[in-house]
Structure 1
Amino acid sequence: MASRIVIADDHPLFRSALAHAVGKVWEGFAIIEASSAAEARAVLAEGAVEALLLDLHMADSSGLSVLMDLRQDHPALPIVIVSASEEPRVAAAAAQLGAAGFIPKSASLEAIREGLAAVKRGDGWFPDTGAEADDDLARIASLTPAQRRILGAIRQGLLNKQIAYELAISEATVKAHITALMRKLGVASRTQAVLLAAKLDVDQPVADSARA
């Protein structure tokens, strides 16, 4: 199978624009378009993917959680975030969580091609945010996939019994995971865990500290 570049974005017109830029950088590569995170995962499961261009906000994903999950499953895959958000904290968080680059959707095609060319060379491509590493993000990144799923369920307001049903595990296992994830996050309550996890969102401000 020929190596491919995957573009995951739910806006067809923007996917077409990205495909044009990708074709200038990765000449001869097959360009696969996906309109959801699930479609992107299905393509990645087939193998032979050179790079993934990923929108953080699609119908089945919102925020940096999808980046964390894909980095977990495909640690060697360069993932370039292409986002409508231009908040410095989002770009800085993407870099900290292992993205290969961050390109705002407002960038010109020339700038997009320049960024993709840098990623192809193995160089990172991020706006100069001036932000330092966020210890809270490091704690979130230390969670296991199971703990991140349970944290996501807590953010939805589900009770332990409901989480156990959704994940097909025992309520005791849910409690054990919650105890472990709260210890890793350094928080003392579910509310504090939810506030801290809001740092993964891209479309809303977050509190300076979930432990205040």
Structure 2
Amino acid sequence: MQVVIADDHPLFRTALSHAVGKVWPEAEIVEAPSAARAREALANGAVEALLLDLHMEDSNGLSVLMDLRQDYPALPISIVSASEEPRVIAAAQQLGAAAFIPKSSGLDVMRDALSAVREGDGWFPDTGAEEDADLAHMASLTPAQRRILSSMREGLLNKQIAYELDISEATVKAHITAIFRKLGVNNRTQAVLLAGKLDVDQPAADALTQ
């Protein structure tokens, strides 16, 4: 049985390993410095839990959480992040995280949060933030639709998206129509602006350690 720690800061992975070792003493701890490496671990082992940072070399924001929840719906995913704004914490909870552990927390708090997750409970700081209907709409997108929406955010045209994803331009248009319907928008600009809610600003202190 494994617990995967996905964080691109080696020192923080070490600190998390100590907390995990107290809660899952029998587990093999797998450290992953990127979202891609975390996915490799999830595909190759019997993973009990995933601890996930929101800012890594190949991921930034809540999109990675949404994708992993889609692919591994039964896996408890605990967000461990320096982005501690109430909006971010509430969004992570709404998108299916099992816990949100601020990086400013002490080891005792981390152990308490992970113990709750192991028992099947959630653990989140009290923010008072309300659920966002737009996030629920985005969570309803299929993986293919999310990839196309991501390409739209990069400014790619339908023909370019079709080439990048190796699908027909007609298929791209059909997906975009479905995206607009699910998100309740009328055009690409509105869809791109709404998808911006998945972005999470990287704290300055965290950025300095990159």
Q: TM-score, normalised to structure 1's length? A: 0.94
Aligned CA-pair RMSD = 0.8
> For 1:83-108, what per-residue CA distance to the aligned partner results, in whole angstroms no more than 9, with x for missing partners?
11011011100101100000011111
- 1:16-73: CA deviation from partner (whole Å, max 9, x where unpaired): 0000110011112100000000000001001310000000111111111101111111
Give the percent of matched residue pairs that are identical in Structure 1 and Structure 2: 77
Give, as a single letter, the amino acid of the residue that structure 2 aligns with 1:87: E
Deviation sequence 1:181-211 (CA, Å, 0-9, x none): 011100111111111011111118xxxxxxx
Q: Deviations over 1:131-185 (max 9, x none)?
A: 1211000000000110000000001111111100100001111111001101110
Separation in structure 1 between the aligned mates of residue 166 and residue 111 of structure 2, nearest angstrom: 45
Unaligned runs of 5+ in 2: 203-210
Return the alpha-carbon distance in structure 1 between the equivalents of residues 75 and 110 of structure 2: 19
Report the equivalent of 2:182.
184
Partners of 2:155 and 2:105 lie apart in 1 by 37
Q: What residue is the counterpart of 2:129 in the other structure?
A: 131
Higher relative contact order (CA 8 A, sep 6+): 2
Quick one: which of 70, 73, 81 aligns to 1:72?
Answer: 70
Pairs within 5 Å for 1:22-171? 22-171=20-169
Distance (Å, rounded) in 2 between the aligned partners of 1:165 and 1:119: 42
- 1:102 counterpart SS class: strand
CA distance in structure 1 between the aligned counterparts of 2:61 and 2:51, rounded to whole angstroms? 15
Alignment coverage as a number of residue pairs: 202
SS in structure 1 opposite 2:164? Answer: helix
Q: Distance in 2 between matches of 1:12 and 1:139?
A: 35
Specify every segment of 5 or more residues in structure 1 that has no aligned partner in the other structure, as ranges: 205-212
Q: Distance in 1 between matches of 2:156 and 2:201?
A: 22
Letter in 2 for 1:4: Q
